[in-house]
Structure 1
């Protein structure tokens, strides 16, 4: 575009753009053909990708660039915090050329979008039953009844009753077409709410030749399944020699070679109108591993073991999680219903170790033992009816009216004589109070009847490392670390300094190929609009904690930090990254030497964190807040790793109790609940889950469609 070819307003816009230094004009000559213009645009975009990846981008065109730039409603000129750069690829006096160029570029680069082919407006595969029936009726009316009758279900779907579309369509899909898992729906005792019993799930797995899923295997292999389970229980006995399951073995009541270890999980998702929606499930403790661990072992050339024992993190959550109940807040806020759900879980667990399931054809008997209850801390408190938890942390000693109950259900930490904040100690006072005082309120939770080491029932309720670090202490620690790091950058305000920190973060992400996850790093990211507030990460993605931790570690490495506090921050980042990485790269059982090394790195982090909190208090800075979850980390690092390693050759990896995969399971079922009528949400969610899970079992090769 030459100056004589454009208007004064457009020339003024170009002058403003050049002055900004972030808008570039790369317009081809007017004489080029349409194909040459397209090739020019593609080359320019590819060059941009090679220089700036990863990046978020948008392709678009406007018929009025002056208005799009300068209007005060949504003009780019007044939204500078929403974009970092702009390239003008083509300009024309008519609208058709830019429109076709935009369509061609979007078609080429739409694979870069995290959406289905067709654009943002294309909906997911799921739709309402009413919509499916409506489409079926339209098709039948178009092709006729005779042609529709040969389609295998089309006519039946079109004939569903208008008043019972969900019920009739489910009967068609599940009972006639057999496109649902054959797991019967039962009722919670004394209630009108449905459940999927554990015994029915185990019966399905056994008779559909899917037992190997509970052993962490890809395909059925009876000998390998038994060898794997036998080895698991051998190592588990070395960790927990007094567990009740081994008394059953001594009395010849179960065969551990055909006994699967299970966990019970529960948590709330987001239901209709953002109301809580509870989802509970069982899942195997053993699985196919963690992707990070498999990659690390492959890189190291580790030998593949015949009896591999790995955590359960790979595969679609519908194929390795077994739904028990799904109900809205209105249902389970009644204590009677919630207790009935827990009693059902405990009764089913008892049935599986006491009676088991006998294979109808081979006569072989299979058992399952629910070892632990997992989930975030609020779920453990509610499911266990615990009297000691994070909610009893002392907030103000001067206003204390009665002795505090304590913050930990396994020990007396948080009581007056046993402070949970002494995380720098290798021998805290609470260490001698493990299992001394019962944490259970009356009446005790039905889940306390699960098999365990008697007098240590509190260990049934296992802490979750993912919520404790990635969505807990990690957010608090990194919030303070980023607040301190922002002071390295020039600026008279917090926002100005964070602009420099944001630039450094995205540069680091590009250089080391880390997905930034964030669109912008700013004070609101750590809830630090006012420096007198304790900073804390506002994100809800655990992966971001890992990424930001490695960024802070990079920024504090090299030994040229501006203060001793920044040196401690760097040492803390290195220690916790080594610890968490070691856990994720390990198998279900860690050799005692490895467990000691990992635990020591975790304790090193806690000592640095404690020192940082002391220094912040000394300098009167609102940084490095100590929250009850630091005690959870100390329990994991000190008790579950370092001290456990002294008792035997193997240590059960605490990562087995982490709930990332179960959180995905909860999210999926919660979304399903938002697509059904609220009065029937509990039953319809179970019904739809069985239909959706059937498809995932077929996709995974666990079932053969049309035969099962």
Structure 2
């Protein structure tokens, strides 16, 4: 009799799955679309799921949009790199130490020495190499600073400023973009475009950032032993504020960092140069045009071929559990990666010995712009697959 009950219970669990109370509460946050953000914040704080990174406040001029637009100085919240470091090291430091923890001192110090030795070929003028006796390279953590103005609700611009370790927490075998964004980036602050007061808003925040970075660079992050009461310990001074913006014969505060006096030190990130507004979109679009001419998706007009290609693309997305809103929206960078992965599976069946393959390749090489322009005009009119991802 008990065996029957156990069988029924096991069958019920297999059929319904495991009920997660937190996921149930999380789903309920979205029942009211107007208050879903507020409900999510309440849930995160109530369940104590907030990462305890210390929030700093920087007096910052912003444009106040309620009523008549005015300029006000407010205390703007930021998460300094030093605060992130203290929090990460309090839990082992895996995110900043290339996947190692503080107990693996020999391994992560060897990793950093190897990194700086190789990076010297890219930036031999780095101030760090000029002060080798002042800095122990095995204890210097390479971190990048990234800024990207994306789009929020109602397509309003939103500036996101964040730090990113150059060595992945998954190890040096992976790029520092592998994994979820929460595990690869450390937020500094977010600034909606409606708060911009010219360049003063961002410059002021950058001034505070530079002060924190220079402190980390020159003094390092010290770990003090708790040997007595700290009630009488003098507090550290707050970050300084840069008063003047770029446009008053002063350069960006970021240029005051060591080895950053030249503008060439700032590099575009691969996401933009390839997927978002880069050559990746043109590459996948040109590949689709080439495959259409090779007859991969049957014969007929270009519109008929694109219709067939789009149908197969949707089937592939469903089978591989890929999510995409394409071709709706603005053609996001993620869509470029998804279509690129789909084209990998498609091109496995392309035979280089197929009739017309070599002739078509030569023609595409010689007449790539006229050919692409013509095909783009036809494809954009068809409203399938190439629109709006592929725009020259």
How high is the TM-score relative to the length of structure 2? 0.65
What's the counterpart of residue 124 of structure 1? 26
1:459 to 250, 257, 264: 264
Alignment of 1:327-476 (within 5 A): 327-332=191-196, 334-361=198-225, 443-452=250-259, 457-471=262-276, 472-476=278-282
What's the counterpart of residue 210 of structure 1? 92
Question: 1:350 & 1:458 partners in 2: Cα distance?
Answer: 18
Alignment of 1:128-207 (within 5 A): 173=45, 180-190=50-60, 191-192=73-74, 193-206=76-89
Alignment of 1:75-90 (within 5 A): none
SS at match of 1:264: strand
CA contact (8 A) 1:229 1:257 kept: yes
Are 2:128 and 1:245 aligned?
Answer: yes
Change (3 A) 1:451 1:493: same
Are 2:286 and 1:480 aligned?
Answer: yes
Count of residue correspondences: 323
Instruction: Kindly state the Cα deviation for residue 557 of structure 1 after the two structures are TM-superposed.
Output: 3.1
Change (3 A) 1:350 1:504: same
Runs of at least 5 residues in structure 2 that lack an aligned partner in the other structure: 1-10, 33-37, 61-72, 228-244, 378-392
Deviations 1:610-666 (A, max 9, x none): x836414566953589xxxxxxxxxxxxxxxxxxxxxxxxxxxxxxxxxxxxxxxxx
CA contact (8 A) 1:261 1:285 kept: yes
Instruction: Kindly state the Cα deviation for residue 234 of structure 1 after the two structures are TM-superposed.
Output: 2.1
1:262 to 143, 159, 163: 143
CA contact (8 A) 1:480 1:623 kept: no
SS at match of 1:475: helix
What's the counterpart of residue 648 of structure 1? none
Are 2:374 and 1:622 aligned?
Answer: yes
Alignment of 1:511-530 (within 5 A): 515=320, 517=322, 525=327
How high is the TM-score relative to the length of structure 1? 0.38
CA contact (8 A) 1:616 1:624 kept: no
Runs of at least 5 residues in structure 1 that lack an aligned partner in the other structure: 1-103, 131-164, 291-307, 364-383, 386-439, 528-535, 569-610, 626-708
Instruction: Kindly state the Cα deviation for residue 479 of structure 1 after the two structures are TM-superposed.
Output: 1.7
Instruction: Kindly state the Cα deviation for residue 442 of structure 1 after the two structures are TM-superposed.
Output: 5.4
Change (3 A) 1:196 1:275: same
SS at match of 2:374: coil
Change (3 A) 1:622 1:552: farther
Change (3 A) 1:445 1:555: farther
SS at match of 1:287: coil
SS at match of 1:249: coil
Question: 2:120 & 2:209 partners in 1: Cα distance?
Answer: 24
Deviations 1:355-375 (A, max 9, x none): 222111299xxxxxxxxxxxx
Question: 2:304 & 2:48 partners in 1: Cα distance?
Answer: 61
Deviations 1:541-566 (A, max 9, x none): 24224224424533543321425464
Alignment RMSD? 4.7
CA contact (8 A) 2:158 2:191 kept: yes
Deviations 1:283-341 (A, max 9, x none): 21112348xxxxxxxxxxxxxxxxx5653245543344222112322113542112112
What's the counterpart of residue 233 of structure 2? none
Change (3 A) 1:217 1:273: same
What's the counterpart of residue 233 of structure 1? 116
Change (3 A) 1:481 1:309: closer
What's the counterpart of residue 185 of structure 2? 321
SS at match of 1:213: coil
SS at match of 1:622: helix
Are 2:157 and 1:276 aligned?
Answer: yes
CA contact (8 A) 1:470 1:545 kept: no
The structure having more radius of gyration, on CA atoms, is 1
Pick which of 549-558 and 221-230 moved more.
549-558
1:287 to 168, 177, 183: 168
Deviations 1:210-232 (A, max 9, x none): 33421212443222222222222
CA contact (8 A) 1:478 1:537 kept: no
Structure with more of its chain in helix, by fraction: 1
